[in-house]
Structure 1
């Protein structure tokens, strides 16, 4: 069967690999239908990794996927051949200290599809078929669009982040950075009842998608550098900031616009900024990070499945799996692309 495999920076290949094994007890085999290209996939494609993580052996990419059940192992309940499913790429050990504390996203022995942190690498899901524990497959309704279902993983990241921000009902929210996570965070914040959602970026095209996702106001800081000055008055007017860009200046801006006692949730990864300690202390800002997700994956699948959210504006391109290189190149152009997906044979 075919898979999308990275060997080195800009050495992405469509390869024939061994078929997915027959599912054993408690396992399910899934024919992949759609797979979204994530920022981490792009780091592997362009740089061979990120931070200290580097490709040391060929690895199938991909962790944002949906598909159709093609086979069931003994003892699997709640799934049938032909079911549409979203696949959770996160597999915590269930036994470590943090798993026992119901903080499974902090698992000490986490396995995450499409990650080179381990050796051998944890293979990704950009494969024609995969066999994995049935608990990673979330059943969907027959009418659910598998393209939208493949957004469960990044949307779960945003639901987890919004959960870190506490009650948003009636709150004024600022989202810094309108990439895929920023735009999906708009949907999550709207769902949580935010009264106003301001989104900032330094480019206009992604802001147009943020507006389509329901942002109240979108600000291109490259054209309106002083647009946030009004939000800094009176020690700050924003209740909660979700910093999704990972840009060094953004954390200071977040601490300047948030009100005393407000919250800044850091979601984006990037440079290591100078920490605005004096603002955090003097304004009693509650600062928190947000990393991946846990129970939110099933919630994301449910919300998409029931049509409670419309995430379609973030989908800006679909390529056949055989054209993966063109898809990755297109996804790298932030002026044109938001979320780009590969289409496999599973749909």
Structure 2
């Protein structure tokens, strides 16, 4: 089978690998679509994603969808031909009591397409993958595998919105309209937000935000509407966070969705105290991917997140498009 390995900075290779047969409790999946994520780009550009450093080649990708090809022993409820997506996380051992319900923070967690562990965890950019049956998420009727490739990042967005608390009837701000920011707009709408203001410096991103459900799209969060009480910082830019903290109303909630740099940054935090701002982090998701497929099945707004489709053999061009084309948003690979 073909798989997309990364061997170094800007060194992607299509390689032949043996197909991984499913063992007991496992499922083999024919992967049809793969979405390129910011972490994939980070490995490609620098060999590092967050604190994870690539030490040897591995298969990229954790946003995938396709069909069940085979099931191992002791697997029930999943059959050959079933359209599915995959929860990329796998945990080992019990979750500490204080983290109950927050499996995304499990101290022993592996993620598809990650160099956080050594040996690295191979990802889903391959014609066939084998995962635990518990990681397989069947698609509801009406959801095709192309749109379902957005289930993992939409799960991230839905988790971020839940971290904000009840947004029903609220006026929310989403700063940074890349793929995750756009999906936060979709998730906030689904959670009952009354109005969504999007912010991005790029015109194409603002246009895509309006298509994805934002009521207005601005180039700055300065002079923020005082009715905004919830903000999602999805760009990972310290200047964006600084502007939000300075501009947002008292007693508001700010959720940090975008990955901030791992080095010290300059942000004025005095407003967190004087305005009693709740500043919250959000990391991946727990089980929101199951809710994500249901939302994708009934709402087509997320379609506006996908900007380009390229074949697996054109992966290098796909990665270049993701970082250099000003009109790009979510670039997806046709794998199978």
* TM-score of the two chains, using structure 1 as the length reference: 0.92
- Counterpart of 1:32 in structure 2 is 31
- Counterpart of 1:5 in structure 2 is 5
Give the 3-state SS of the residue equivalent to 2:331 in structure 1. strand
8 A Cα contact 2:222 2:244, kept in partner: no
Instruction: Output the CA distance in 1 between the equivalents of 2:153 and 2:144.
Output: 16
Among candidates 300, 307, 311, match of residue 302 of structure 2: 311
Instruction: Output the CA distance in 2 between the equivalents of 1:281 and 1:209.
Output: 35
8 A Cα contact 2:140 2:294, kept in partner: no
Return closer, same or farther for 1:165/1:114 CA change in 2, 3 Å cut-off: same
Give the 3-state SS of the residue equivalent to 2:68 in structure 1. strand
Runs of 4+ in 1 over 4 A off after TM superposition: none
8 A Cα contact 1:37 1:340, kept in partner: yes
- Counterpart of 1:124 in structure 2 is 123
Return closer, same or farther for 1:98/1:251 CA change in 2, 3 Å cut-off: farther
Offset from partner CA, 1:271-291 (integer Å, 9 cap, x none): 343343321111111111011
How far the C-alpha of 1:44 sits from its partner, in A, is: 0.9
Give the 3-state SS of the residue equivalent to 2:14 in structure 1. strand
Aligned pairs for 1:322-341 (under 5 A) are 322-341=313-332
Give the 3-state SS of the residue equivalent to 1:291 in structure 2. coil
- Counterpart of 1:152 in structure 2 is 151
Instruction: Output the CA distance in 2 between the equivalents of 1:144 and 1:297.
Output: 14
8 A Cα contact 1:83 1:142, kept in partner: no
Among candidates 282, 300, 312, match of residue 274 of structure 2: 282
8 A Cα contact 1:98 1:107, kept in partner: no
* Residue 286 of structure 2 is aligned to residue 298 of structure 1: no
Instruction: Output the CA distance in 1 between the equivalents of 2:179 and 2:299.
Output: 19
Among candidates 241, 244, 260, match of residue 251 of structure 1: 241
How far the C-alpha of 1:98 sits from its partner, in A, is: 5.8
8 A Cα contact 2:31 2:126, kept in partner: yes
Aligned pairs, number: 334
How far the C-alpha of 1:208 sits from its partner, in A, is: 0.8
- Counterpart of 1:224 in structure 2 is none
How far the C-alpha of 1:204 sits from its partner, in A, is: 0.8
Offset from partner CA, 1:223-257 (integer Å, 9 cap, x none): xxxx73253xxxx4421000001101111211122
8 A Cα contact 2:245 2:269, kept in partner: no
Among candidates 311, 325, 332, match of residue 320 of structure 1: 311
8 A Cα contact 1:157 1:291, kept in partner: yes
Offset from partner CA, 1:158-199 (integer Å, 9 cap, x none): 000000111111111111100001000000011111111111
8 A Cα contact 2:238 2:267, kept in partner: no
Task: Compare 266-275 and 9-18 and name the one that shifted more.
Answer: 266-275
8 A Cα contact 1:98 1:104, kept in partner: no
Instruction: Output the CA distance in 2 between the equivalents of 1:184 and 1:15.
Output: 32
Instruction: Output the CA distance in 1 between the equivalents of 2:224 and 2:88.
Output: 42
**Structure 2: gaps (5+ residues):** none
Aligned pairs for 1:168-183 (under 5 A) are 168-183=167-182
* TM-score of the two chains, using structure 2 as the length reference: 0.95
* Residue 223 of structure 2 is aligned to residue 229 of structure 1: yes
How far the C-alpha of 1:74 sits from its partner, in A, is: 1.4
Offset from partner CA, 1:97-145 (integer Å, 9 cap, x none): 1696121000100010000011100111101101110111111145422
- Counterpart of 2:15 in structure 1 is 15
8 A Cα contact 1:243 1:267, kept in partner: yes
Query: RMSD of aligned C-alpha atoms?
Result: 1.6
* Residue 259 of structure 2 is aligned to residue 269 of structure 1: yes
* Residue 175 of structure 2 is aligned to residue 184 of structure 1: no
Instruction: Output the CA distance in 1 between the equivalents of 2:109 and 2:25.
Output: 19
How far the C-alpha of 1:89 sits from its partner, in A, is: 0.6
**Structure 1: gaps (5+ residues):** 222-226
Instruction: Output the CA distance in 2 between the equivalents of 1:87 and 1:310.
Output: 21
Task: Compare 272-281 and 248-257 and name the one that shifted more.
Answer: 272-281
